[in-house]
Structure 1
Amino acid sequence: MAIEHEDVRRAAHLAMLGLDEREAERYVSDLSRILEMVDRLQEVDTEGVTPLSHPLDTTQPLRADEAIEPNRRDALQACAPAVEDGLYLVPRVVE
């Protein structure tokens, strides 16, 4: 698929981007190269290749779920107008 100058101008208009003529020409070149690369990737034989859920076969290291700050609930609720059992009480707004 060939990208033309008018395609870039229309996409910029739809995305509400302000492009001058020089930038639009540069994008025509860049997008054309990207589409050429995608076309080359389409030619690769992927028969029998299992799709990956992630490009890297690694796991994300997780930190331990530990409380690192002291419980300051009483101090934070001291200025609240109404508190009960550690919860803020607010006026009922839905009947």
Structure 2
Amino acid sequence: TVRENIADCAEVAYQCLTLADAQKMLIFDSATELSTYIQEEKTEWVVREGRVWFKAPEKSLGASDIPSLRLVGETLAYATELDRIV
């Protein structure tokens, strides 16, 4: 669902969010709904001091993890194809 995708992105983008911000971001009508969602769906999240703390990412991506040569090659191929079309 959209909410799951937003939650997954928030885990990676933020170390923590206030409960109010998490409620807005995840489109819940009340703090109770957010708490229920965390207890049932996101058990690894920790609610402490008015904030939702996300688990630390297991591994962050480095430059060596990005296939830059392949991406450059594909981009150039797309540009060449677009040039032929136009």
Question: TM-score category by the smaller chain?
Answer: 0.3 to 0.5
Q: Considering only CA atoms, is the larger Rg found in Structure 1 or Structure 2?
A: 1
TM-score in terms of structure 2 length: 0.32
Structure showing the higher helix proportion among its residues: 2
TM-score in terms of structure 1 length: 0.30
